[in-house]
Amino acid sequence: MKRTPEAVTEIIKTHLEANGHKIANDSENWCIKKSSLGGLGVFATKNIQPGDFIFKDYPVIIGPRSKINKDVCVVCFKDEPILCSRNCHLPVCSKECENSKIHLQECELIRKWSQKKCESGYNNLIKYITPIRTLFLSENEEKIVKSLQGHKGSQHGFEVDALSYKYGMVFSKEEEHFMKLACRVMDSNAFEVIIDDKDNQSGVRGLYPLSALSNHDCSPNTFYTFDKDHWMILRASKPIQTGEEICNTYVKRLWGTLNRKLMLEKSKHFSCTCKRCRDPTEFGSYVSAMRCSFCKVGFILPINPLDINSSWICDVCASKTNCQKVGKILSLLGNTLASFGNDDVEIMMRFLNGKLLDFVHVNHYIVLELKCKVIFILGNRKNYELQNISDSLLELKHQYCRDFLNLTEKLRLGYFTYRAQIISELVSTLKEESRRKNNTKTEEMDKEINMLLNDLYLVSQNEFCSDK
Ligand SMILES: C[S@@+](CC[C@H](N)C(=O)[O-])C[C@H]1O[C@@H](n2cnc3c(N)ncnc32)[C@H](O)[C@@H]1O
């Protein structure tokens, strides 16, 4: 098949309709076209407002990633499964999942292979099941896999080799070739699927074909959620004009440019040159700015933010700092953050207001990450129940929520799911503040709560949220 926008559109629409999504022509908001960013991309065919639905997408392949670190049902991906009663060594959670079409096919194939005794046992087979699933795709689904970009490099597709040398499975040359191709395509395009609201790291990946064609921007104009049947729902995070490219983000929105660039180069093998990446101050937000170690007054930012090896320059004394030194400080601070336990609120706050600001700007993304950690602990963890925390901790939570909203506005991020979670924390903080004042709500406060709840509804709408 020739990789034209028309041909790719056709196979994706066939796939979505085959899975029960009626795409009425008049309600389509998107089309596939050549993109100036590279290859194909998805574009708006009408003006779209923030929060508006853009499209629904269904996975061509879905399954655990090789790094999954828990046992889940291989069909619905819920926790606490038991082993399949037919002895295929895979975990399932119910008769319904055990007898589902997706599992029956792989179950039969694995049982054929596993008649031979495998010395290392079949304990971790769940980590390698996804490539096996690609052997059961329909003709149209195979066409989709072949039409998507895949990473090059021998590290992609190691799961297929593992199936042979760990479990002694034998594949034909064509099967092996297609499974490896599918792994490369998954590595380039797959999304982490959110299975339930409590866990942002499901360890499950899905190849969503329409979303796979969405290019990346560090201030994207969309965000996505998942419904209980693993459909992905894409909505606008800000106004999108007819003809504008519909972009997603492949990395966390809050990260600074150096972090985002390193991650994109490592995992997606390209260098982003979007507006935010080109601006050293990231729209005046200073989320990457570090304290100058020479004058200790000014802040350093990369001279050329598009080059990860660029030197950084101080806005007061003009001293230059090399990027390795910046990298070392960032990784040290990252490790310190990771070392805090959920009960270390006092230590976190001391670090936030003291040592941390010797190294970074008050708007730095590491400061924001730590503030978010505190926001979620206060009011949600044992010993920090909302009704029981002190007035000053409640005030702090309130302030950190506001800091988050102000900074993400500066970054031009619009609506996204993590922001919705912070808004939800702000709403409960406002309600608790009012309760402490004998429920004396001002008209202004009522208005604000309603506005925030409206924001929240636009984003979550009863679906499961991703956290990028
Ligand atoms: C998920 S695919 C997106 C669709 C892709 N354009 C295609 O034709 O299949 C990801 C790949 O698209 C390219 N890409 C996405 N966003 C980009 C951007 N902002 N700048 C440059 N290349 C980008 C990179 O090659 C990346 O590895």
For ligand 1, mutation pick of 246, 270, 277 (most atoms within 8 Å of CB): 270
Q: Which atom of ligand 1 is nearest to the CA of 216?
A: 16
Best residue among 43, 149, 306 to mutate for probing ligand 1, ranked by most atoms within 8 Å of CB: 149
Q: 3-class secondary structure for the chain?
A: CCCCHHHHHHHHHHHHHHCCCCCCHHHCCEEEEECCCCCEEEEECCCECCCCEEEEECCCEEEECCCCCCCECCCCCCECCEECCCCCCCEECCHHHHCCHHHHHHHHHHHHHCCCCCCCCCCCHHHHHHHHHHHHCCHHHHHHHHHCCCCCCCCCCHHHHHHHHHHCCCCCHHHHHHHHHHHHHHHHHCEECCCECCECCCCEEEECHHHHCCCECCCCCEEEEECCCCCEEEEECCCECCCCEECECCCCCCCCHHHHHHHHHHHHCCCCCCHHHHCCCCCCCCCCCEECCCCCCCEEEECCCCCCCCCEEECCCCCEECHHHHHHHHHHHHHHHHHCCCCCHHHHHHHHHCCHHHHECCCCHHHHHHHHHHHHHCECCCCCECCCCCHHHHHHHHHHHHHHHHHHHHCCCCCCHHHHHHHHHHHHHHHHHHHHCCCCCCHHHHHHHHHHHHHHHHHHCCCEECCC
pLDDT of 199 over the 90 cut: no
Q: Is the CB of 251 inside a 6 Å radius of any atom of ligand 1?
A: no
Measured in angstroms, how far is the CA atom of residue 189 from the centroid of ligand 1?
Answer: 9
Q: Given pLDDT bands bounded at 50, 70 and 90, which one contains residue 112?
A: confident
Query: Which domains, and CATH codes, for the chain?
Result: 5-58+208-246 (2.170.270.10), 61-205 (no CATH)
* Best residue among 216, 244, 263, 277 to mutate for probing ligand 1, ranked by most atoms within 8 Å of CB: 216
- Whether residue 121 is predicted with pLDDT greater than 70 in this model: the reply is no
> From the CB of 40, is ligand 1 less than 6 Å away?
yes
Q: What is the position in ligand 1's atom list of the atom closest to the CA of 35?
A: 6
Residue 294 sits at φ, ψ, to 5 deg, of -90, -60
Ligand 1 pocket check for 210: Cβ under 6 Å: no
**Does residue 198 surpass a pLDDT of 90?**
no
Mean pLDDT within 347-364: 95
pLDDT exceeds 80 at position 238: yes
| % of the chain surpassing 70 pLDDT | 95
Please name the residue whose Cα sits nearest to atom 15 of ligand 1.
215
Ligand 1, from 11, 36, 37: best to mutate by most atoms within 8 Å of Cβ? 37
Average pLDDT, the chain: 92
Q: How far is the CA of 217 from the centre of ligand 1 (A)?
A: 10
Residue-wise pLDDT for 19-70, tens only, equals: 999 877 557 899 999 999 999 999 999 999 999 999 999 999 999 999 998 8
Q: pLDDT grade, residue 119 (50/70/90)?
A: low
User: Which atom from ligand 1 is nearest to the alpha carbon of 151?
Assistant: 27
Distance from the CA of 41 to the center of ligand 1, in angstroms? 8
Q: Is 215 in the pocket of ligand 1 (CB under 6 A)?
A: yes
CB of 281 sitting under 6 A from ligand 1 = no
Does the pLDDT value for residue 434 go beyond 60? yes
C-beta 38 within 6 A of ligand 1: yes
Reported confidence tier of residue 118, pLDDT bands at 50, 70, 90: low
Mean pLDDT of 255-262: 97
Q: How far is the CA of 39 from the centre of ligand 1 (A)?
A: 7
Grade residue 465 by pLDDT with cuts at 50, 70 and 90. low
Q: Comparing 312 with 28, which gets the higher pLDDT?
A: 312
Does any ligand 1 atom lie closer than 6 A to the CB of residue 270?
A: yes
CA-nearest residue for atom 21, ligand 1, is: 37
For the Cβ of 213 lying below 6 angstroms from any atom of ligand 1, the answer is yes
pTM across the whole model: 0.92
